[in-house]
Amino acid sequence: MADKTQEIGGIHFPFPFTPYSIQKDFMAELYQVLEAGKIGIFESPTGTGKSLSLICGALSWLRDFEQKKRQEEARLLATGTAPSNEGKDQPPFISSSCQETPDTLKPAGEPDWVTQFVQKKEERDLVDRLKKEQIRRKKREERLWQLRHNTQLKYAAKRERQEEVETEHLLRLSRDILAAGTEAEPLEQLASGEEELVLSEYESEEEKGTTNGLDEDEDDLEEEHITKIYYCSRTHSQLAQFVHEVQKSPFGKDTRLVSLGSRQNLCINEDVKNLGSVQLINDRCVELQRRRHESKSRAEDEEPKRRRREPRAACPFYNYKQLQLLRDEVLLEVKDIEQLVTLGKEAAACPYYGSRSAIPAAQVVVLPYQMLLHTATRQAAGIRLQGQVVIIDEAHNLIDTITGIHSTEVSGAQLCQAHSQLLQYMERYRKRLKAKNLMYIKQILYLLEKFVTVLGGNIKQNPTTQSLSQTGTELKTINDFLFQSQIDNINLFKVRRYCEKSMVSRKLLVFTERYGAVRPPPREQPGLAGLQHFLQSLQPGAGATEAPAAPVEAAAGAPRPASPLVHIEGFLAALTTANQDGRVILSRQGSLSQSSLKFLLLNPAVPFAQVVKECRAVVIAGGTMQPVSDFREQLLACAGVEAERLVEFSCGHVIPPDNILPLVLCSGPSNQQLEFTYLKRELPQMMDEIGRILCNLCNVVPGGVICFFPSYEYQRQVHAHWDKSGVLARLAVRKKIFQEPKRADQVEQVLAAYSRCIQCHGQAGGMVTGALLLSVVGGKMSEGINFSDNLGRCVVLVGMPYPNIKSPELQEKMAYLDQTLPRTPGQPPPGKALVENLCMKAVNQSIGRAIRHQRDFASIVLLDQRYARPPVLAKLPAWIRDRVQVKATFGSAFAALRKFHHEKSGLS
């Protein structure tokens, strides 16, 4: 693409074509938000080039930031002195790695020579750090230049051993424990490969002294994290689309961009990838790394007389030198996830770890929501937010996303299974486990037992056949749940830390695979028969009196279930949340296995506050961000963002005003008032009226019509009623009818058939003029799908999709907001406002499916007189709100629709 550089307010914005005026405004505002270090909420309707505006605006700022930083570095290195603050803040272009903590006030009476000495030392330290950063940057640029010009590179493996020190230390400690045994009685001989299952001696953080560090070679220091932009979105397809936009932009050749993904998306080891389950893939990947460390440690062990165990295979793609080559290849050109996987296969290097090693030197890091918003996942990926820029795109569901990431649920079956597995593990290796390991394992067993008891079950009985005397849903505060479960005396923070550091769930997974359901050992191991019998009893279809079948080897390629202890660890971590910020839901169903404990996060601002606090600037962007009050009040204000730091930007659409016709329809063809409340919407006359309206619309609207219903159940009821009353047959005269599938893997197939139908009938002519797609608000078709041009000439919304007000989760959330947020005079209570906002967010997403580019046109029909209320209209996107026509009668609405499509389609 040609570079059409635009100068806006003295700033040069490279752009692949002449931008729209709203794109210029978007880029200028974005630049100022990043420069001033603010929090921005940006709304730009789909079809207005939001992605390109984000790319060119943000990367223009980063270009200027890096240029200012280099100029300042050159001045500092030339003069050897830092700029005098004189009460001012440090220059914003000094990188996060060079920033010091805020200067403390000068103590009263301190001599001037002391102050000058301290200031001079700080200046020297700053200059030294700048010199080191300059050396690292030159090394990186030289490597990439050589790689770009196909020069043979030579890499040293000086840090390879440093990466392995901790794991190697644990393995040596484990072998020492096994060799020492106990003096009282000889230890039982372990089977081949069992040594790795024994937990190493555990030391808490308080018990650890200073770690033995390795002397770093000054020529091979790890690169600091330069100032960069973290861009995240909901799905991998949206991330890939963003990466392709970067590739086509004027910045595509020179930007160092890294795409991050999960092991499931990036793994190229077929044996691991075929495991299917995300948790199994993660566990096996870590296990293969451990085998690699173990094999090296054994090779260095100078005991030729000891019987060696048969070496076990490690991952062939986790190779230090190849990973470094892959890292530089990643930084050389912009690549999406698929291209990264292809490159990894060619280089025989792991894309998962290769991409992570490229993070420090990258200018842009592209990653999914969960990886950035979940603290533990972010830390595991090596992401550092201090002083960085974060852009969260497609952020209309950001609050729900954060809540979902930090909420977790465990079933009664998982609790019982984890208890049985851990108990059998402890009995098997009791004599080989140190006292601290035994103490924590017994605490976990106690917790599991109490969790089952609070549900009304018995840990010693089969959860599948165990009926509960009490059923229903009960909601508790965290403290009340801890007291009722009788676990308030246990330090859950220490238990959580132990689970993380000891990797007990991974040990348990391998133990269960070996002795639980895969294959019995040659001779029956003590204490394992009970585990095998219990696991077999949990298999589907296993009756209470059924004789246990002989163990058989698992079917090849069938995914094995991950250790249930992994899910329980997440639940334990959630219980460490502050009492006022979360709730525990006890769901007691017919049997213990179907019952569950669920943690519900009420305050998403708590995990988000860390992102806001650490980052230089945060941008929350989307095509439809209305209503933005949720972001302001529930997320940003509660996260400590001051009003002066918050910037809101919303732009109009690029389509001409007469290319869209939004209508609110208050009554149908038979003068039936349209108000689809829970009490009225299932009435036959209401369902008949929807049918009459659609039959009229399909007579005048060409191409595709998408009709959104408030729920799958209501869509099913209406479809069944139309089938009996003959409405479906009348609709089929003009439009072929499609329904949104419930299964996600069938969506593409239905969309392809829908598209072919519209294309064929649009060219062939005849009575059938296109297709009608019956969809669901909040379903698979309501976001992320483009119904551009003839695919979506009309969008119809039946009723207002309010969430289920009887949901215990929603009721608790409403009560929480009423208690914590101030009530604005003249406005509904915060809890009621939440319900209305959830409804309108869903409506706005569905509306946005139709208009996708500047020359597109479509009509939008809202079937419910409640849409005519001013508070509801105010929550529609501005580009729709300003053009809405409220029609009290169907006749006037139909005349406007017929005229609109007659003119736009050029029909005679």
Same domain membership, residue 623 and residue 716: no
Same domain membership, residue 749 and residue 626: no
In a domain, residue 501? The reply is yes
DSSP 8-state secondary structure symbol assigned to residue 843: H
Give the whole-angstrom CA distance, residue 675 versus residue 98.
61
- Position 732: which residue type? A
Structure tokens given for 55: 């790319």
- pLDDT of res. 823: 83
Segments in the chain below pLDDT 70: 1-6, 9, 76-78, 80-127, 130, 134, 137-196, 200-223, 290-313, 516-562, 762-766, 784, 906-908
Give Cβ neighbours of residue 80 (< 8 Å, ≥ 6 apart).
Answer: 123, 124, 127
- pLDDT of res. 694: 94
Structure tokens given for 286: 């870590």
pLDDT in tens, 59-83: 999 999 988 888 877 776 667 655 5
In a domain, residue 136? The reply is no
Question: What is the b/e burial string over 585-608, where b = at least 16 CB atoms within 10 angstroms of the residue's CB?
Answer: bbbbbebbbbbbbbbbbbbbbbbb
Give the residue among 571, 512, 500 at the shortest CA–CA distance from 280.
Answer: 512
Give Cβ neighbours of residue 214 (< 8 Å, ≥ 6 apart).
Answer: 161, 162, 165
- Write down the pTM of the prediction: 0.80
- pLDDT of res. 746: 85
Average pLDDT of the chain, as a whole number: 79
In a domain, residue 242? The reply is no
Same domain membership, residue 718 and residue 594: no
Which domain covers residue 894, as residue numbers?
Answer: 660-906
364-368 and 257-259: which strand pairing?
A: parallel
Give the whole-angstrom CA distance, residue 224 versus residue 361.
7
In a domain, residue 846? The reply is yes
Question: What is the b/e burial string over 646-662, where b = at least 16 CB atoms within 10 angstroms of the residue's CB?
Answer: bbebbbbbbbeeebbbb
Give Cβ neighbours of residue 654 (< 8 Å, ≥ 6 apart).
Answer: 20, 22, 47, 48, 49, 853, 854
Query: Which of the listed residues 572, 588, 606 is the one where a domain comes to its end?
Result: 606
Same domain membership, residue 878 and residue 768: yes
- Position 399: which residue type? I
Give the whole-angstrom CA distance, residue 167 versus residue 147.
33
The alpha carbon torsion through 49, 52, 56, 57 (nearest 10 deg) reads 50
In a domain, residue 139? The reply is no
Beta bridge mates, 660: 858
- pLDDT of res. 442: 92
pLDDT in tens, 596-655: 999 999 999 999 999 999 999 999 998 888 888 888 888 888 888 888 889 999 887 778
- pLDDT of res. 29: 92
Beta strand segments in 763-826, E: 770-776, 794-798
CB-based contact 423:445 (threshold 8 Å)? yes
Same domain membership, residue 691 and residue 628: no
Round the CA-based radius of gyration of the chain to a whole number and report it: 31
Same domain membership, residue 719 and residue 629: no
Beta bridge mates, 706: 773, 795
Same domain membership, residue 429 and residue 480: yes
Same domain membership, residue 701 and residue 635: no
List the CATH number of the domain containing 881. Answer: 3.40.50.300
Give the whole-angstrom CA distance, residue 618 versus residue 604.
16
Same domain membership, residue 897 and residue 805: yes
| Count of structural domains within the chain | 3
CB-based contact 754:792 (threshold 8 Å)? no
In a domain, residue 195? The reply is no
- pLDDT of res. 217: 37
Same domain membership, residue 819 and residue 714: yes
CB-based contact 858:852 (threshold 8 Å)? no
Same domain membership, residue 779 and residue 838: yes
770-776 and 703-709: which strand pairing?
A: parallel
Give the whole-angstrom CA distance, residue 499 versus residue 495.
6
- pLDDT of res. 291: 63
In a domain, residue 439? The reply is yes
Beta bridge mates, 584: 476, 599
Same domain membership, residue 675 and residue 800: yes
- pLDDT of res. 182: 44
In a domain, residue 185? The reply is no
Q: Is the Cα torsion angle 899, 901, 904, 907 positive or negative in sign?
A: negative
